Chain A
C-alpha cells in the first residue's frame, strides 16, 4: 500500500462533510421547482423553452444520481476504510426515494395534468413507464423501514428486504434508456456506473467467502 493511500485511509469525517451532504440532498430538487415557478411566473428561462419537460427530466436524472451515491457508500467505505460515510447511506437512499416520488408527481400533476385516461394507459400499456413505476414502488417499503426502530425490529429480515435496493437502479436506468428517442449515451454511462457498483459487491462477496473458506480452522 503506497504511503499516500495509507494517509487517505486515515481521514476522519471532515466537519464540512455533513454540510456538503445536506446541501447535496436538500438543494437540487427544490431548485428545479423554483426554476419552474420562476419561468412561468416571472418569464425567466432557467429551464429553457419547455420547463415542464425539462424539470421532469432533471428530477429523473437526479434520482439516478442519488441512487449512485447510495450504492457508492459501501464500496467507498471498504476501499478507503472510511467507516464514517456509512451514516450517509440512509440519507442518500431516502433522497433517491423522495426525488423519485417528486419525479412521478411532477409527471402526473404538471406533465399529463391529471389526465386519468392517459395515466391509466401509461401505467398499463407503456413499458418504460411501468418499469419506472415499479422502481418507485420498490423504494416505498425500503423508505418506510429505514428508521432505527424498524431496523431493530426486522433484524435479519431487514437485510433481506433491503437487498431489493439493487433492483431499483437496474429498473431506473432501463426506464430512462427506453424513454429516449435515439440518444442513449447517458443511459449507457449510468449503466456502466451501476454495473461497476454492483460488480464490486459480487467481487467483494466472492473474496470474502473464499477468505473464510481458506482460513485455518482450529
Chain B
C-alpha cells in the first residue's frame, strides 16, 4: 500500500481548508481505484457506520464525516510531559526548543547500525502526507494530516537480523532543554516499543510534519512515531534512538501504571481503561461523543496482526 502525497509540498496550513482537502483526497482515491472492505471488528458493533465506510471507500480508516482537526487544536492541545503536564503547556514551554541539529541512532539487532543526521536519516523513505485518525487514551480524538516516512523503510535500511522481534524508541533526554524532565512524573527518558510486525506495517509512520509544515516543537519535533490504530501515547516524540531487540521493550506509561497502560495499547472500544470507558470518544471541536471504532477504524488493515490473541489480556 504505497499511497503518495496528495498535498502539494508548498501548501501551508493556512491554505488548507478542511473540506476541500478531504474531498480532493477522496476524489483522488476514487481515481486510484482503491477499495476498502468492511471493517470486520467495527461492523459487528456499528453496522450503520461500517456500511457507510464500505460504500464510500475512504482511505486510512477515515470515516466519511472525518474532517481534519484545526491547526490550533492539533498544535495547542496535546500531552508532551517533557514540556509540562497540562495539555496547553507544550505549546508554550517548547517554544524555544531547538530541534536541529538532530541525530538519530539506529542500532541493536541490525546488520547496518548507524548514527544519522536527520536529513540523512529521512533519505531511507519518501516523504508523504497522510491523514490519520488519532485517538488519545483519555477518550478524546482528532483527525491529523501528518507528513513523514514509513518506519518500515528505516528498518529495512538497517537490515534487522533474524533475532530481532521488537523495536524500542527513546526520546531525547536533556532536562535543560526539556524542563518537564526535571520532575519525576514519568521515568525519563520516555521510551516506547512496537513488535517488529507492527513497526513494519505500512500504516506506521515516522512523522516530520503536520499540515504540510515542519512538526511544531510541541508535537514532537523533529521526529515522532505515529501508529494510528494505537492510543496516542504510543506515538513517542522527539526520537533520538531506535533499537532493534529480541525482548519486549519497557514503555514509559506501562512502567508508570502497568494495570492501566499495556504494551499493545490498541484502540479497543470493548476494553475499558480501569478508570473510564473507552466505548466512546470526544472528537475535538465536536459536542456530541462518537463511538470509538475497533483499532480506531483500522481493523481492516491491522486486525490480522493480532489474530488469535486475547486482546483483553493484551491490552
Write the residues of chain A forming the contact surface with B, with a CB cutoff of 8 angstroms: 40, 45, 48-50, 52-53, 112-113, 115, 118, 121-122, 126, 128, 178-179, 181-183, 185
Contact between B256 and A182 (Cβ–Cβ < 8 Å)?
yes
Q: Could you say which residues of chain A place their CB within 8 Å of the CB of B276?
A: 122, 126
**Contact among B274, B280, B287 with A115 in the assembled complex (CB-CB below 8 Å):** B280
Q: Shortest distance in angstroms between A98's beta carbon and chain B's nearest beta carbon?
A: 24
Given A40-B287, A53-B140, A113-B288: A48 touches B282 (CB 8 Å cut-off): no
Closest B residue to A52 by CB, please name it. Answer: B282
Binary interface encoding of chain B residues 172-212 relative to chain A, with 1 for a CB under 8 A from any of its CBs, else 0: 00000000000101100000000000000000000000000
How many A-B contacts at CB < 8 Å in the complex? 53
CA distance A64 to B76 in the complex (A): 27
Contact between A50 and B284 (Cβ–Cβ < 8 Å)?
yes
Closest B residue to A110 by CB, please name it. Answer: B287
Binary interface encoding of chain B residues 72-103 relative to chain A, with 1 for a CB under 8 A from any of its CBs, else 0: 11001100010001111000000000000000
Q: Could you say which residues of chain A place their CB within 8 Å of the CB of B140?
A: 50, 53
CA distance A182 to B138 in the complex (A): 13
Q: Could you say which residues of chain A place their CB within 8 Å of the CB of B275?
A: 126, 128, 178-179
Q: Is B289 an interface residue (CB 8 A)?
A: yes
Contact between B186 and A182 (Cβ–Cβ < 8 Å)?
yes
Q: Which residues of B245-299 have CB atoms within 8 Å of chain A's CB atoms?
A: 256-257, 272, 274-277, 279-280, 282, 284-285, 287-289
Closest A residue to B75 by CB, please name it. Answer: A49
Give me 24 A-to-B residue pairs in the complex whose CB atoms sit less than 8 angstroms apart, sorted by A's number. A48-B87, A48-B88, A49-B72, A49-B76, A49-B284, A49-B285, A50-B140, A50-B282, A50-B284, A52-B282, A52-B287, A53-B282, A112-B289, A118-B277, A121-B277, A122-B276, A126-B276, A128-B275, A179-B275, A182-B81, A182-B185, A182-B186, A183-B86, A185-B85
5 closest residue pairs by CB, A with B = A49-B77, A183-B85, A49-B73, A182-B185, A118-B277
**Contact among A40, A45, A50 with B72 in the assembled complex (CB-CB below 8 Å):** A45
CA distance A48 to B183 in the complex (A): 25
Q: Could you say which residues of chain A place their CB within 8 Å of the CB of B77?
A: 48-50
Q: Shortest distance in angstroms between B45's beta carbon and chain A's nearest beta carbon?
A: 14
Given A115-B280, A128-B275, A182-B185: A49 touches B85 (CB 8 Å cut-off): no
Q: Could you say which residues of chain A place their CB within 8 Å of the CB of B186?
A: 182
Contact between A113 and B73 (Cβ–Cβ < 8 Å)?
no
CA distance A178 to B273 in the complex (A): 13
CA distance A185 to B84 in the complex (A): 12
Q: Could you say which residues of chain B place their CB within 8 Å of the CB of A40?
A: 287
Q: Could you say which residues of chain B place their CB within 8 Å of the CB of A122?
A: 276-277
Contact between B277 and A49 (Cβ–Cβ < 8 Å)?
no
Contact between A183 and B185 (Cβ–Cβ < 8 Å)?
yes
Q: Could you say which residues of chain A place their CB within 8 Å of the CB of B87?
A: 48-50
Q: Shortest distance in angstroms between A25's beta carbon and chain B's nearest beta carbon?
A: 26
Q: Could you say which residues of chain B place their CB within 8 Å of the CB of A181?
A: 138, 257
Q: Could you say which residues of chain A place their CB within 8 Å of the CB of B138?
A: 181
Q: Could you say which residues of chain B place their CB within 8 Å of the CB of A183?
A: 81, 85-86, 185
Closest B residue to A178 by CB, please name it. Answer: B275
Apart from A179-B275, A182-B185, what 4 extra A-B contacts exist at CB < 8 Å? Answer: A49-B285, A50-B87, A183-B81, A185-B183
CA distance A48 to B140 in the complex (A): 13
Q: Shortest distance in angstroms between B270's beta carbon and chain A's nearest beta carbon?
A: 13
Q: Could you say which residues of chain B place their CB within 8 Å of the CB of A178?
A: 275
Contact between A48 and B85 (Cβ–Cβ < 8 Å)?
no
Q: Could you say which residues of chain A place their CB within 8 Å of the CB of B287?
A: 40, 52
Q: Shortest distance in angstroms between B157's beta carbon and chain A's nearest beta carbon?
A: 35
Q: Could you say which residues of chain A place their CB within 8 Å of the CB of B282?
A: 50, 52-53
Q: Could you say which residues of chain A place their CB within 8 Å of the CB of B256?
A: 182
CA distance A40 to B72 in the complex (A): 15
CA distance A63 to B157 in the complex (A): 56
Closest A residue to B256 by CB, please name it. Answer: A182
Q: Could you say which residues of chain B place their CB within 8 Å of the CB of A179?
A: 275
Q: Shortest distance in angstroms between B200's beta carbon and chain A's nearest beta carbon?
A: 30
Closest A residue to B186 by CB, please name it. Answer: A182
Q: Shortest distance in angstroms between A184's beta carbon and chain B's nearest beta carbon?
A: 8
Q: Shortest distance in angstroms between A118's beta carbon and chain B's nearest beta carbon?
A: 5
Q: Could you say which residues of chain B place their CB within 8 Å of the CB of A52?
A: 282, 287
Q: Shortest distance in angstroms between A132's beta carbon and chain B's nearest beta carbon?
A: 12
